[in-house]
Structure 1
Amino acid sequence: MALAVCLLFDRRTDRLLRALWDRLENLGVPTLKSHTHRRHVPHLSLAVLREWDHDRVQTAVQPLLNEQSAELYFDALGTFRRGRAWLVPAVGVEVLQLQATVVSALRAADAELHRHYQPGRWVPHCTLAPRVPLAALPVLAAAVYDVLPLEATADHAALIDSSTGQLWPLTYVV
């Protein structure tokens, strides 16, 4: 079980990413749409926590968010070990600064951050498919590159429990 601090996308971007999930599913590539509890939403995680006090985390990150949006540009496909495939975003300095600020606030709230979300180790990404078999990568890549590039807007944020999909909205982001 993990709790994530996530940037969420505007309606247009969310719709485009869900359409990509649908396309991949129709091609036989399992995506976040059909993964575990099936309540996943397109997102970009700023931090993932292994241990936390929910109220302290929410209190710590809520004031860091304001009413502007973050513009992201997706024009590449990435993979992590164990088959996680994701869109690679070009992010502005404001997103990098927000991630570092969120991590500092979470540390002050005594939350235990997953090692991949430490500043200097964090790789911004938008997961498409969590466990892609090597043989399916060409199918996935062809489908993804048919729709890229994608200009995206993250206009709100949430805390999300990855084990259940429960979402606690936060305010708008940078």
Structure 2
Amino acid sequence: MAQALELFFDDSAERAVRELWRRLDDRGVPSAGSRGGRPHVTLAVAGAIPASARRNLRSELELLSIPDLWLHTLGTFPGGDSALLLGAVVDTELLAVHSAVHDVLAGKVTAPSAYYFPGAWIPHCTLAQGLTAAQLAAGFAELAPPEAVRAPIAEVGVTDTRTGETEVLLTR
């Protein structure tokens, strides 16, 4: 079981990502939407984010200016678990938010994932994962070139990746 700190989009951006998911599903590429859940960008993942860390996160998030995201780059990750993603444009504001939440989490969570640490993190919204080479190619063919999605952040929450339940820490 893992818990993830996630940025959730406003209704317009969520609809835009769900439309991309629908297009993938229609093309025979199993989208992230077919697994349930909401479109999001993950800031951090750990085995557990305890209640005390969540309280501290809530306080920190209320002080931060969380920028709108621009999801613009269609891409994938290297390695065995092929994923299709929509990458966020990285700017200093986004990196500052990411760094601030990791400062709060440092030493307070169990089994943090190094993939989400500052310097290693690739901010993105997953469109599909666990794809065959043919599905990945079909996904690129369907969605390239992507139209940029402006994604204002509506909520920030901690999601249990096993159950899908989310504790909302901040609503904007």
For normalisation by structure 2, the TM-score amounts to 0.89
**Which residues in structure 2 correspond to 1:54-133 (within 5 Å)?**
55-66=51-62, 68-80=65-77, 81=79, 82-133=81-132
Structure 2: state its 5+ residue gaps. none
How far off is 1:111 after superposition? 3.7
Name the aligned partner's letter for residue 43 of structure 1: H
Write out per-residue CA displacement over residues 137-167 of structure 1, whole angstroms, 9 at most, x where no aligned residue: 2221132225412222223211111111101
Corresponding position of 2:34? 34
Kept after mapping to 2: 8 A contact 1:68/1:155: no
State the alpha-carbon separation in 2 of the partners of residues 23 and 144 from structure 1. 8
Write out per-residue CA displacement over residues 60-116 of structure 1, whole angstroms, 9 at most, x where no aligned residue: 211121385522222221212211111011033121111111111111424431010
State the alpha-carbon separation in 2 of the partners of residues 110 and 130 from structure 1. 26
Corresponding position of 1:23? 23
Name the stretch that deviates more: 102-111 or 17-26.
102-111
How far off is 1:5 after superposition? 0.5
Name the aligned partner's letter for residue 9 of structure 1: F
Task: Pick the aligned partner of 2:43 from 41, 46, 51.
Answer: 46
Q: How many residue pairs align between the two structures? A: 169
Kept after mapping to 2: 8 A contact 1:44/1:124: yes
Kept after mapping to 1: 8 A contact 2:46/2:109: no
State the alpha-carbon separation in 1 of the partners of residues 94 and 108 from structure 2. 21
Cα 1:4–1:151 change in 2 (3 A) is: same
How far off is 1:49 after superposition? 0.7
Among all aligned residue pairs of Structure 1 and Structure 2, give the percentage whose two residues are the same amino acid: 30
What is the alpha-carbon root mean square deviation over aligned residues?
A: 1.8
Please list every run of at least 4 consecutive aligned residues from structure 1 whose deviation after the TM superposition is greater than 6 angstroms: none
How far off is 1:28 after superposition? 0.8
Name the aligned partner's letter for residue 60 of structure 2: L
- Secondary structure of the structure 2 residue equivalent to 1:29: coil
Write out per-residue CA displacement over residues 33-76 of structure 1, whole angstroms, 9 at most, x where no aligned residue: 223xx3x11000000112342x1231121112138552222222
State the alpha-carbon separation in 2 of the partners of residues 70 and 42 from structure 1. 17
How far off is 1:25 after superposition? 0.9
For normalisation by structure 1, the TM-score amounts to 0.88
Structure 1: state its 5+ residue gaps. none
State the alpha-carbon separation in 2 of the partners of residues 88 and 25 from structure 1. 20
